[in-house]
Structure 1
Amino acid sequence: MLAGEVHGRDAKKQFGEAAFAVVPFGSLEYHGPHSPLGTDLYLAQGFAQRIDPSLKPLIYPAVPYSACPGKTSSYPGTITIDLPVFHRYLEAVLDGICRCGIQRIVLLNAHDGNMGAARTAAEQVTARWKDASFLLINWWQMAAVDAPEKLGFFQGTTGRGHGGPYEMSALKALRPDLVEVRKGDRELTPPDALSELPYVLVEGTPRGWDGYTGNIQQISLETGEWIAAEVTANMNRLIASWLSSQDITESGDS
C-alpha cells in the first residue's frame, strides 16, 4: 500500500491495517557518466516495492534529497542539503508517521550519507515515542560482500564502491533503461582494502576516484538480477523476523 495514494476518508482505517511503515531514502548525486543522478533514489524506491505485500507495509514516498559528501558535491548534478537541515526534516517526517499511529518504521536506505542522520533521527524520535521501533536497512548490506566475486560475476573485485559494478548492476536489474556503460567510459580501480574488518575512511579526493569508482565495464544485468534477488530475499526475512520479535514483545507486555 502506497501512503501517497491513500484517500483522506480512508486514512485512519488503512493506516490501522498496516503492520509497519517504510520510508525509502535516496539522494540526487553524481554517480559517473554511466549512471543516473537519481541512482540512490531509484534503488531505494525499487527495493521498497519488492517488500513482500503479505507483510503489510505502508510505503511512503522516497526522500529524494540528502546531505552529500564533499567528494561528490562539486560534480555536475549533485544537490546537497545542509546536514542539520536534513536531520530536522527527517526527524519531522518520522515524528509525523508516529503521530499517524504507525510506530514500526523501516528506514530503507540507498545512500551512504544517510546512515548517521537516519540513526540519530530515529534515536531522538524514540525518546518521545517509547513504543516506536525503527529498523534501518542499507540495501547493499543485504548480500554478502564477496558473493558476486566468488560466484564469478566479478573478476578481481567485490564490485563495491560509489557508482561501481555492484551498485550499478543492482540498479540495472531494477531499471535497465537507466544504466549505460560505453566503451570509452574510464574504469577507476579502487585501492586495496586496509583491513578485512569494518572501518570508515573519509577523504576529500580518494585514490581511484572521479566522482565514481570501480571496474564499471563489469556491470551486467545478470549480476544485477542475482544481487537484487539476494537483497530482496534477505531484506524480507529480516523484516519478518523484526515484526515477529515485536509481536512477541507486545504479547509479553499485555
Structure 2
Amino acid sequence: MNAIEIHGRDLSLLENARFAVVPLGSFEYHGPHSPLGTDIFLADGFANLIDPNLGGIIFPTVPYTACPGKTNKYKGTISVRPSIIQEYLIDIMMGIMEQGIKKVVLLNAHDGNMGVSRTISEYVTGKYSDASFLLVNWWQMVAIDAAEEIGFEGTKGRGHGGPFEMSAVKAFRPDLVRVNKEDQELKEVQPLSLQPYILVEGTPKAWDGYTGLIQQSSHEKGKKIVEKAIANMNELIKNWLEN
C-alpha cells in the first residue's frame, strides 16, 4: 500500500503497518542514453514490487540527494549538500517513528545515498531503541557472478549508467533508455583488489558521466535482473521481519 493513498480516517493503517519503505533516488546525469530520473524510476519500481503480503507501507520516493563530484559537473544533475540531505532524512525517519512504525526499509537506488543511510539509521536508533532499519541497495540483490547467466558478454555490466543499471530501467520503462550506435562505450577498469574497498575520484578512468559497454543494455536482461533482485529482496525482508 502507498502511504499517499491513505485517507485521514484510515490512519490506523499506518499504526498497524509491519514496516515502512522509503525509496531513495537522485536526480543525476546518467549519460546521453539514460533519463536523469534513473534512480527515481528504479527506487519507485522496486518499492512497488515488494510483496504486499509482507505488510509494508510505501512512502514517497526521495528524489533529490547529494551527488558526487564526478556527476555534479554534468548538466542535468541537481545535488543537495550532504548536511542538508542528512537532516532532511532524519526528519522523515523521526516522522515515521512518530506514526508508530518502528521498522523501516531504506530502499536505495543511488550509490551516494549509502553513507547517509547508515548515518541517519544509527542516529534514529539512538533515539528509538526499538527501531530497526534495513538498508537495501537494489543492485546488491543480484550476485555479480550472475552476469553471464543474465546475458552479459565480456562484462559484469556494473557501473553508473552501465548496461546492468540501464537494463533494469528498461524493465520498468523500456521507452526511456535509448542507446544509439554512435554512443561511446567505456570499458571497465580492472579492480585494484579482490577485497572490498572504496575509491573516490573526481574524474575516474573510463568515464564520461557514465561507464560500461552500454550497447549490451536490453529489456530482456532487465527483466532477469529485476526478477532476481526482487525475489532476493522479498526474502531478505521476510527474514528481517521474522527475526
Q: Same fold (TM over 0.5)?
A: yes
Q: State the Cα distance separating 1:18 from its structure 2 match.
A: 1.3
Q: What TM-score, normalized to structure 2?
A: 0.98
8 Å CA contact retained: 1:148, 1:223: no
C-alpha displacement of 1:146: 2.0
* Counterparts of 2:189 and 2:67, CA distance in 1: 22
Runs ≥4 residues deviating over 3 A: none
Residue 38 of structure 1 pairs with residue 61 of structure 2: no
Contact 2:106 2:133 in 1 (8 A): yes
Distance 2:147 2:169 in 1: 15
Q: 1:218 is aligned with what amino acid?
A: Q
SS at match of 2:144: coil
Offset at residue 189 of structure 1 (A): 1.0
Q: Percent identity?
A: 60
In structure 1, the partner of 2:219 is 221
Give the Cα–Cα distance (whole angstroms) in 2 for the partners of residues 17 and 124 of structure 1.
Answer: 24
Q: Distance in 2 between matches of 1:77 and 1:8?
A: 37
In the alignment, does 2:137 pair up with 1:138?
A: yes
What amino acid does structure 2 have at the position aligned with 1:162? H
Deviation at 1:190, TM superposition (A): 2.2
User: Over residues 208-229 of structure 1, what are the superposed CA-to-partner deviations in whole Å (9 max), with x where a residue is unaligned?
Assistant: 0000000000001111111000
The aligned counterpart of 2:187 is 189
Could you say which residue in structure 1 is the equivalent of 2:97? 98
CA–CA distance in structure 2, aligned partners of residues 162 and 229 of structure 1:
20
Q: What is the aligned counterpart of 2:209 among 202, 211, 224? A: 211
SS in 1 for 2:215: helix
User: Structure 1: how far apart are the matches of 2:40 and 2:174?
Assistant: 15
Cα deviation, residue 5, structure 1:
1.1
Deviation, structure 1 residue 235: 0.1
Measure, in 2, the Cα distance between the counterparts of 1:56 and 1:185: 43
Tell me the CA shift for residue 197 of structure 1: 1.9
Contact 1:189 1:215 in 2 (8 A): yes
Partner AA of 2:85 in structure 1: F
Aligned partner of 1:231 in structure 2 is 229
After the TM superposition, which residues 12-51 of structure 1 pair with which residues of structure 2 at under 5 Å, given as runs? 13-51=12-50
Contact 1:166/1:224 (8 A) holds in 2? yes
Shift of 1:26: 0.2
Deviation string 1:9-48 (CA, Å, 9 cap, x unpaired) is: 211x111231100000000000000000000011000000
Distance of aligned partners of 1:50 and 1:152 in 2 relative to their CA distance in 1, 3 Å threshold: closer
| Secondary structure of the corresponding residue to residue 146 of structure 1 | helix
Report the number of matched residues: 243
User: Is the contact made by 1:190 and 1:209 (CA closer than 8 Å) also made in structure 2?
Assistant: no
* Structure 1 unaligned blocks of 5 or more: 246-254
CA positional deviation for 1:152: 6.0
- 2:17 and 2:31 mapped to 1: Cα distance? 38
